[in-house]
Amino acid sequence: MGKISGNREKKAINVRSLGKSYGKLKAVDSVSFSIEEGEIFGLLGPNGAGKTTLISMLVTMRKPSSGSAEVNGFDVAGQPGAVRKSIGIVFQDPSLDEELTAIENLEMHAALYGVPGAERKGRIGGVLKLVGLEKNSKMQVKKFSGGMKRRLEIARGLVHHPRILFLDEPTLGLDPQTRAGIWEHIRELNKREGITIILTTHYMDEADSVCGKVAIIDHGRIIASGAPAQLKDELGGDIISIKCSASEKCVDGLRKLKWVKSAVRHNGFISVRVQKGEEKIPKILFLMEKNGVSVESVSLRKPSLDDVFLHYTGRTIREEEAKPLEAMRLRRKARTGRK
Amino acid sequence: MNREIEGIYALWKREIIRFYRSKSRVIGSLGMPFFFLAILGTGLNNVFSVPSGGNYLQFIAPGIVAMVLMFGSIFAGVIVLMDRQFGFLKETLVAPISRLSVVLGKALGGATTAVMQGAIIMGIAVLLGAEMQLGGMLLVLPFMFLVSLMFVSLGIAIASMLEDMHGFQLIVNFLLMPMFFLSGALFPLSSAPEFLRIASFLDPLTYGVNGLRFLLLGHSDIGFFACLAVISFFTAVFVSLAIFLFNRIEE
């Protein structure tokens, strides 16, 4: 009946040339992207890349310096109240009141978000069950383990039935088993409730398995985006990882070869991107031996999101991790630049 | 509007629950005023004659209650800093209620807990032998609440400007202690030298001490209504300042 209302799908989030600068530092530099409803979208990047600043603007914690963004159809600058009501947030750093019990934290959240009094009890019971904390509901949060606190925070983010859930590094600092559990909850939530999820992480393999779409962000800009499989396919071929003496010289030599798509040095390894890797290994080894380079190890694999990141930035995400000082300096800069 | 009130209530309740849970903090904060009363009060009882009559313990009791209100309130306000350090502040900052409501919820909650502490120390003073008149009692609690509200707001304003707890000791030693000593809690202003008297007129606590002294003992250096007027003025200024500074917090 009537006219078809158009073929554009409704966007959960729509970001247009959004930017945030602190003095000369551009923490987020004119970023544009959109997220479909019901999607799990991952923002990937090293510390200090601008992920958290970007999220902070989307959840109306910080005011954009330029550009605009809509969340659930509400403008983040013009309608912050409506945006806040329609989203749930789990911050990178813990934000629970540790003196209160789990249930008291959730009750306060429900009151702050205007959940009708009659519905509170049912909803709180529901979210506690969802994250498997129903037995610990009367425990003070300071007695919780790191994983339990995270789960409680996710539960809290859901009490007011948001249409979008923001998760900033939901698994940071947790052990692998707990991490797997958290991702399981997130996937379940998305599937069962149809909630759009936007998350940041620097665990690339986890992002790969959870996210329907990812954007890689570095120095405040999105340098690649798409489905993880698509990004890896775009890279194409295989990755040969070599550990050898004189890696600098080797990289230069490898780059000159016609069949080498790219060669990058990182953490003492060389990553070489080629087609039909299994056939190229003997060739590379032969060349290295001829040039008097001793090879310690060689491995062959399909590209991962780590390789995608390496391809676009020339660094691995772990190398970035190794430079906490730089990240700290950046953060400090951002903070003093605020005033 | 309804939601704002519910938010304020939720934040108020949080302060009460935290107060109730942190018994050691409460007992710790009542230690110093208790010793002021029990040792200084009784020790100086016989050497110190109060011009307006009555003994020394009785004279300082309202001042010590006012001190408890000030310390308790400022500390409650500075909890904003701890909230920031432990991350909870973010939860309130992104909630869909106005910053005004956040400040009000915290201020009302903090003032309530300060009044509870003040009431405890008042009871202790009576037990130690300070005689207080019952006539003013009806007004005492509301007046104590107003004094507390003034100082909580000051605390929130200070906390909104600081980055962490490091500066707190500075505030205790260079703001709270002078304010306490200048307030006339321990000696009558009428017999103090001119320059001290002038300084104490600038001290908001002076009006808290004198107001309470009037309500509890029936006499004071400054009239009750003058105290009420000045305290209301300071409260309005500090509440506005707290709201303004709290509004500026990003993150």
Q: What is the pLDDT of residues A161-195, one digit of tens each?
A: 899 999 998 888 788 888 888 888 888 889 988 89
Contacts of A81 in chain B (CB under 8 A): 96
Among A71, A95, A112, A142, pick the best mutation site for testing chain B contact (most B Cβ within 10 A).
Answer: A112
Closest to A236 (Cα-Cα) out of A299, A318, A311: A311
pLDDT at B61: 93
Q: Tokens standing for B202?
A: 């600038």
Q: How far from A68 is each of A64, A77, A131, CA to CA, in Å?
A: 7, 8, 34
- The whole-number average pLDDT for the span B23-30 is 86
Other Cβ atoms less than 10 A from the Cβ of B113: the count is 24
Predicted confidence (pLDDT) at residue A263 exceeds the cutoff of 60: yes
Domains of chain A from N-terminus onward: 11-227 (3.40.50.300), 237-302 (3.30.70.920)
Contacts of B21 in chain A (CB under 8 A): 99, 140
DSSP state of A294: P
**Torsion over CA: A250, A251, A253, A254 (sign):** positive
Q: Which of B11, B21, B94 sits opposite A84 (nearest CB)?
A: B94
- The whole-number average pLDDT for the span A271-278 is 86
Closest to A243 (Cα-Cα) out of A293, A280, A311: A293
By the 8 A CB rule, do A231 and A215 touch? no
By the 8 A CB rule, do A231 and A224 touch? yes
Instruction: Give the gap in angstroms from C-alpha A216 to the nearest C-alpha of chain B.
Output: 23
Closest to B153 (Cα-Cα) out of B80, B88, B216: B80
Predicted confidence (pLDDT) at residue A282 exceeds the cutoff of 50: yes
pLDDT at A7: 39
Q: Residue B187 class from Cβ within 10 Å (0-12 exposed, 13-18 middle, 19+ buried)?
A: middle
Q: What φ, ψ does residue B173 adopt, rounded to 5°?
A: -80, -30
Sheet bearing A25-36, strands edge to edge: A25-36, A11-22, A66-71, A74-75
Q: Quick check: A62 and B251 CB within 8 A?
A: yes
Q: Quick check: B251 and A56 CB within 8 A?
A: yes
Q: Quick check: B13 and A62 CB within 8 A?
A: no
Instruction: Give the gap in angstroms from C-alpha B74 to the nearest C-alpha of chain A.
Output: 20
Q: Tokens standing for A2?
A: 């009537």
By the 8 A CB rule, do A301 and A241 touch? yes
Scanning A125-144 for CB atoms below 8 A from B yields: 140
Question: How many A-B residue pairs are in contact by the CB < 8 A criterion?
Answer: 75
**Spatial distance between the Cα atoms of A105 and B17, rounded to a whole number of angstroms:** 11
3-state secondary structure of B66: helix
Scanning A191-220 for CB atoms below 8 A from B yields: none
Other Cβ atoms less than 10 A from the Cβ of B38: the count is 15
ipTM of the complex: 0.88
**Spatial distance between the Cα atoms of B57 and B45, rounded to a whole number of angstroms:** 6
Q: Residue B26 class from Cβ within 10 Å (0-12 exposed, 13-18 middle, 19+ buried)?
A: middle
Give, for A88, the enclosing helix (H) or strand (E).
strand A87-90
Which residues on neighbouring strands pair with residue A88, listed in sequence order? A165
- Best mean pLDDT range from A265-274, B81-90, B223-232: B223-232
The whole-model pTM stands at: 0.82
Per-residue pLDDT tens for A96-149?
999 999 999 999 999 999 999 899 999 999 899 888 899 999 999 999 998 899
Predicted confidence (pLDDT) at residue A3 exceeds the cutoff of 50: no
Q: Quick check: B17 and A99 CB within 8 A?
A: yes
Half-sphere exposure of residue B157, counting CA atoms within 13 Å on the CB side? 17
Q: Tokens standing for B132?
A: 């207080």
Q: Quick check: B96 and A81 CB within 8 A?
A: yes
Q: Quick check: B94 and A100 CB within 8 A?
A: no
Q: N- to C-terminal Cα distance for chain B?
A: 25
B interface residues, A as partner, C-beta within 8 Å: 3, 6-7, 9-11, 13-14, 17-18, 21-22, 86-97, 250-251
Task: State chain A's mean pLDDT as an integer.
Answer: 85
Per-residue pLDDT tens for B184-226?
999 888 888 999 999 999 999 999 999 999 999 888 888 999 9
Per-residue pLDDT tens for B116-157?
999 999 999 999 988 888 777 788 999 999 999 999 999 999
Q: Quick check: A111 and B14 CB within 8 A?
A: no
